[in-house]
Amino acid sequence: MKLTEVATQRFIDNITSITPGALKGGLQTVARNPQKTEMKVKSTAVGTDMTEKFYDELLIGGSDGVPRLYKMHRTQKRVIGDDFNKLREFPAMTGRINAAVFHPDGSKFAVGSSLDQKGEVRVYQTADAKVVTKLESQPGAVYSLAWRPDGAQIAVGSFDG
């Protein structure tokens, strides 16, 4: 996944690992957490800024069925083969992840997958990867998800309409 400045179309950084095969297939969906997360820098190296920082989180999903949470901006030098920006992997879903969306308060997210014309939606807690709920055996592949603005309901768009 690449981070690009829209106004100038300038490439900024690779967010995910650039090591071939690290993601085990293509990316299908990305979602940005609507809340910024606090992070304290742990390094005490000379010249390190020890102030509290806030960063954006991005959720990705794709053909391997594994939802992954990343920091948007790198805080250390890139090393080929690293996946430093990855914060957490969540339990794999059945099939390819086609849709991802954060709850309006960022505390949880939903991902939708499909395999053999059957879909599944899972809601995870962002902080600890706990599965909040599973909507299994959705008729047809799941392609789109949207939370109601108050977060009380989720809409699922699937192959059957």
* DSSP codes, 81-112: T--TTEEEE-PPPSSEEEEEEE-TTSSEEEEE
Is the confidence at residue 69, as pLDDT, over 90? Answer: yes
Indicate the pTM of the whole model: 0.81
148 DSSP β-pair partners: none
At 139, is the pLDDT very low, low, confident or very high (cuts 50, 70, 90)?
confident
Contact 58, 31 (CB under 8 A): yes
pLDDT score at 36: 75
Is the confidence at residue 18, as pLDDT, over 90? Answer: no
pLDDT score at 91: 92
pLDDT score at 150: 95
d(CA 94, CA 44): 42
pLDDT digits (tens, 9 = 90+) for 26-61: 778 889 999 876 665 454 545 555 556 667 888 999
pLDDT digits (tens, 9 = 90+) for 80-115: 777 778 889 999 998 999 999 999 999 999 999 999
What strand order describes the sheet that includes 96-102?
A: 96-102, 108-115, 118-125, 131-139
Q: Which two tokens stand for residue 70?
A: 């990343």
User: Which of 110, 119, 25, 113 minimizes the C-alpha distance to 64?
Assistant: 25
Q: Determine what percent of the chain is predicted with pLDDT higher than 90.
A: 43
